[in-house]
Amino acid sequence: MDTPRYLTALREQGTALAEAAEGRLDARVPGCPEWTMADLVWHVGEVHHFWRTIASGALADPEGYEAPERPDDDHLTEWYRDGLAETLTVLTALDPAAPRWTWAPRKDGAFIQRRMAQETAVHAWDARDAAGGRVPLPADLAADGVEEFLSYFLDLRRILGLPDDPVGAVETVLLIATDTGHAWTVDHTGSGWRFERGAGRAACEVRGRASDLLLALWRRTGTENLGITGETGAFATLIAAAETE
């Protein structure tokens, strides 16, 4: 995916989130059980606020960042929509190659553009789910989301310099997106997770639409829409090990 596609996805998914939330701010969010829809809207809006502050160059890093005051529920969705529009303006003007602070090894505008599209998409799915309808994510966006997840969130504790949770060696898992043709081979060496693009030999094979793979990795859904063969415990360990909060 390229920058224009990320920006289109951010606009579409961000708008879908707002539409799902309208008139339902008291609804519980199954994907984030401690939240109401209002909490979800506030969270995504505040995340947008933080990253556009970094993206614009107003702050070089999180030090000194001040979160906005949370609007009351009567004005929350309008505040979110205004922030989404401002975020799109900032990220459209951002050179993908421009150096920017991020928490990841990649420190440029492209990381932020991708991260905002992906986070907004998963939370838009949360909002639609809370509103009573599960809508699959676009296949290309979801496949890119799987790769982003494997790149940064599967080994997030190591990336952030936190103590590793004891995992031990894990049998190799092959993820196959049946609707896009993407495949990823994932394993744990005992000292860290790693993945390669493409279908390698694996003890466990997981097949499904890209959206179903991504939502399972983010623990939004179970494995009911996936075809899993071989050492199923390896995929369960992979999901359990990732930092998805």
**Which tens digits make up the pLDDT trace of 103-154?**
999 999 999 999 999 999 999 999 999 999 999 999 999 999 999 999 999 8
Predicted pLDDT at 10: 98
* Alpha-carbon Rg for the chain in angstroms: 18
Say yes or no to pLDDT of 155 above 90: no
CA distances from 225 to 5, 28, 114, 115 (A): 27, 23, 26, 25
The first and second tokens of residue 4, run together, are 């224009």
b/e code 179-202 from CB counts within 10 Å (16+ = b): bbebbbbbbbeeeebebeeeeeeb
Segment (H or E) for 50: helix 37-55
Predicted pLDDT at 194: 87
Compare 85 and 155 and report the one with higher pLDDT: 85
User: What whole-number distance in Å separates Cα of residue 178 and Cα of residue 208?
Assistant: 5
Segment (H or E) for 120: helix 109-130
Tens digits of residue pLDDT in 35-83: 999 999 999 999 999 999 999 999 999 999 999 999 999 999 999 999 9
Percent of the chain having pLDDT more than 90? Answer: 84
pLDDT level of residue 245 (50, 70, 90 thresholds): very low
- pTM: predicted TM-score of the whole model, two decimal places: 0.94
pLDDT level of residue 166 (50, 70, 90 thresholds): low
Q: Are strands 183-188 and 170-177 parallel, antiparallel or unpaired?
A: antiparallel
Q: What is the chain's mean pLDDT, rounded?
A: 93
User: What whole-number distance in Å separates Cα of residue 150 and Cα of residue 106?
Assistant: 14
pLDDT level of residue 160 (50, 70, 90 thresholds): confident
Helices 73-93 and 3-21 cross at an angle (nearest 10°) of 170
Tens digits of residue pLDDT in 14-34: 999 999 999 999 999 999 999
